[in-house]
Amino acid sequence: MHVLIVTDRFADLPSPRVAATVAGSWHRAAPHDVLACLPVSDGGPGFVGALAAVLAGRLEAVVATDPLGREVPASILLVPGGAAGPTAYLEAAQAAGRHLLAGVERDPTRTTSAGVGRLLLAALDLGARRVVVGVGGLGTNDAGAGLLAALGVGSPDTLARGGAALASLRPEQVEGLDVARDRFRDVDLVLAADVASPLLGLKGTSAVFAGRMGATPDQAQGLEAALGHFAGLVARRYPPRTDLLSGEAIRPERALGAGAGGGVGYALHLLGGRYVAGVEAALDAVGFDRFGAASDLVVTGCGVFDWESLQGSVPLAVSRRSQRLGVPTVLLAGESVVSRRESMDAGLSGVYTLTDPTAGAPAQTEDRLVRLAARVARTWSPSRP
């Protein structure tokens, strides 16, 4: 039997290690099966590492800055692209991730996305003609203003001081966007985001995500107003394009993914970027459809499978694609709070969870995952070759 293993992060384990752990345990339990591993990510932490484990590219070490302006190491995966030029895969979380901040530092009113702008500049310096930016798990809520400042829009003194500072901006302080756009005129800029939220409104980044980053309800309302003020200034200084069919303005703050990463998605749209669901970008990059079509079973995995997972996640995207290929999918999860009916509706033929909570050291989680993978292998694999 041909088994394709396509995993996301699992608690504190990065996806390549998860895939290798599942594959090793599966092989010991069902040695006659032929295995292939495709670690992936939804665009958040681990995006570059997952793709680097599969794609024939090279990792370029660069220096970025974290949400408080401190220098941090980062990496860009540069993949050759023939005559079209190389593709650079970036992970915004390496520069603006929540994990870079201690608990007391998680204040989205003052954290900045400027480090993501430095990653973009590094990708251009490497000669990338296509830039795919994984966006998810960030600790910023500044509408990507810091990112734009790093590219020469306004100045860091005004745009890289966090979301709250945007409330006092003046029109002349958003100058330079046209110059920044010119940098990407011949570059295919892709926003690979873990959410499709707009920038503003009840489903926008401040309303939905600011609280998770430490904002109080009052601060979240203040951030909503500040980001709205910033978007309004940008729209007046740089009027949006008009849709030729409807005659309506194409508002980047309303575009899919504009609210991703506290509004980093909005900044990427301003630069001419286009939205793709992060997991779909990863599955396309690693050639999932080709591997899936040659498989008898797909095994996917994630740390927690819950209601949000049913709206968009690695397991959901994998099961949907597998369904189209006519291949069954089973899920290994640290925890699942989804009913059997809901998981079947999501296209999963089985959901298997750890017998113990996923909390604990990575080694403990890995050991539990080994036992779980072996049990599932014995359940699904034929007893003979």
**pLDDT grade, residue 356 (50/70/90)?**
low
Stretch(es) of the chain classified as CATH 3.90.1510.10: 47-280
Per-residue confidence (pLDDT) for residue 358, from 0 to 100: 45
pLDDT tens sequence across 248-270: 778 999 999 999 999 999 999 99
pLDDT tens sequence across 176-211: 999 999 999 999 999 999 999 999 999 999 999 999
Average pLDDT over residues 16-38: 96
Stretch(es) of the chain classified as CATH 3.40.50.10350: 2-38+287-380
pTM recorded for the entire structure: 0.93
Per-residue confidence (pLDDT) for residue 334, from 0 to 100: 87
Average pLDDT over residues 47-68: 96
Residue 71's contacts (CB-CB under 8 Å, 6 or more residues apart) are 63, 64, 65
Average pLDDT over residues 322-344: 93
User: What is the DSSP secondary-structure string of 130-163?
Assistant: EEEEEE-SB---STTHHHHHHTTSS-HHHHSS-S
Place of tokens 């309506």: 248
Helix, strand or coil for residue 64?
strand
pLDDT tens sequence across 204-227: 999 999 999 989 999 999 999 999
Kindly state the percentage of the chain with pLDDT values over 90. 83
User: Closest Cα partner for 140 from 63, 60, 199?
Assistant: 199
3-state helix, strand, coil in the chain (%, to 5): 45, 20, 35
Per-residue confidence (pLDDT) for residue 247, from 0 to 100: 73
Amino acid, single-letter form, for residue 342: E
User: What is the DSSP secondary-structure string of 270-301?
Assistant: HTT-EEEEHHHHHHHHHTHHHHHHT-SEEEEE
Place of tokens 């979301």: 163
Looking at CATH, the fold of the domain delimited by 2-38+287-380 is given as Rossmann fold (3.40.50)
- Other C-beta atoms lying within 10 Å of the C-beta of residue 313: 21
Rounded Cα gap, residues 295 and 226, in angstroms: 50
Query: Which CATH number does 47-280 carry?
Result: 3.90.1510.10
For residue 347, pLDDT beyond 50: yes
Q: Phi and psi (nearest 5°) for 210?
A: -60, -40
Helix, strand or coil for residue 75?
strand
Per-residue confidence (pLDDT) for residue 121, from 0 to 100: 98
